[in-house]
Amino acid sequence: MPHLTSTRPRTSSTELRPGVGVPGYAHPLLALTEWGELTRPGTPLHWVVLNVADGPGARPDPHCLDAAGRLRNADVRVLGRLDTRYGSRAFGELVSDAHRFVDWYQVDGFLLDRCPADHAGLPEVRRTVATLRVIRDDAHIVLGHGIHPNPGYAELADQLVTFSGPWSDYRWSQAAEWTAGHPPERFCHFVHGLPRPHLDEALRIARRQGAATIWFTDRTDRGGRTDPWGSLPGYWDAFVSRIGTGVSE
């Protein structure tokens, strides 16, 4: 059995500048423009999630191979999506998917989507993260809770998604007190249904709550019938230019 390395997150000597984390576009055949935009020089990207078919798929997909390769050639970090199903997914299935992502797409890390957030889920997530760091030693690990989790999760991964939901909730949200003890580079916010006139307000909220990695879009889930993260926001240029220049007034 391989030795499990420490699950304590990596630290950096320089603070991560605010930037974009892409939760996962539609398949490259369906979102050609979106994938192309991600390699445009100057786009402040922290990482992009690759979700081939609710995970890595059953076999290598040539279109996803090409998209991932172009991103990595542009020095953009690519993460494989692993769905934990709030802790109900079998450990062996997650490990198998992780191996496929690394072997087929050479991903730089993983987003553990629908990650448990309670204290009871800590041991299994700790085990999973430790194993992922064996599979990919320098893996960048993001835990996709979507809410503020038990503070213990901050010891396990590089970043936590502490908000994922609609603008109608985000505009009234508050950060958990314990997050103040960590730098903004540790937290991510995903917001959908955000109208263009409120973009600057949302950027101020992210800055105030200490989240350096964000994804804002005017797309909605239409009552759960569509994926709000599957395409570019209508204000993509304004979004990335404000992040890139630090302008949010």
pLDDT tens per residue across span 2-55: 334 334 454 443 456 899 999 988 889 888 888 999 998 889 999 999 999 999
- Within a domain: residue 103? yes
Task: Output the domain CATH number for residue 187.
Answer: 3.20.20.70
- Within a domain: residue 131? yes
**Bridge partners (DSSP) listed for residue 191:** 165, 216
Residue 69 tokens read as: 């390769």
pLDDT tens per residue across span 148-175: 999 999 999 999 999 999 999 999 999 9
What is the rounded distance in angstroms from the CA atom of residue 96 to the CA atom of residue 237? Answer: 38
**Minimal CA–CA distance to 128: which of 165, 97, 105?**
97
pTM of the model: 0.92
What is the rounded distance in angstroms from the CA atom of residue 77 to the CA atom of residue 48? Answer: 6
High-pLDDT (> 70) share of the chain, %: 91
How many residues would you count in the chain? 249
Tell me how crowded residue 148 is: count the other CB atoms within 10 A of its CB. Answer: 19
User: Is the model's pLDDT at 216 over the cut of 90?
Assistant: yes
Higher pLDDT, 194 or 6: 194
pLDDT tens per residue across span 63-87: 999 999 999 999 999 999 999 999 9
Q: State the DSSP code for 17.
A: P
Rounded to the nearest integer, the mean pLDDT of the chain is 91
- Within a domain: residue 116? yes
The DSSP element (H or E) to which 46 belongs, if any, is: strand 45-50
| Averaged pLDDT for residues 172-193 | 97
Residue whose entry in the numeric block shows the structure tokens 């760091």: 133
Return all residues near 246 (Cβ < 8 A) that are at least 6 apart. 18
What is the rounded distance in angstroms from the CA atom of residue 165 to the CA atom of residue 147? Answer: 9
> Could you write out the three-class secondary structure of 149-170?
CCHHHHHCCCEEEEEEEEHHHH
Question: What confidence score (pLDDT) does residue 1 get?
Answer: 34
Backbone angles phi and psi of 110, in degrees to 5: -145, 145
Residue whose entry in the numeric block shows the structure tokens 């609710």: 54
User: Is the model's pLDDT at 225 over the cut of 80?
Assistant: no
What is the rounded distance in angstroms from the CA atom of residue 152 to the CA atom of residue 206? Answer: 22
Give how many domains the chain has, as a whole number.
1
> Domain span at residue 54?
22-245
What is the rounded distance in angstroms from the CA atom of residue 48 to the CA atom of residue 108? Answer: 10
- Within a domain: residue 2? no
Residue whose entry in the numeric block shows the structure tokens 């569509």: 226
Residue 47 tokens read as: 């990482």
- Within a domain: residue 3? no
- Within a domain: residue 117? yes
**Minimal CA–CA distance to 186: which of 30, 16, 61?**
16
- Within a domain: residue 221? yes
- Within a domain: residue 93? yes
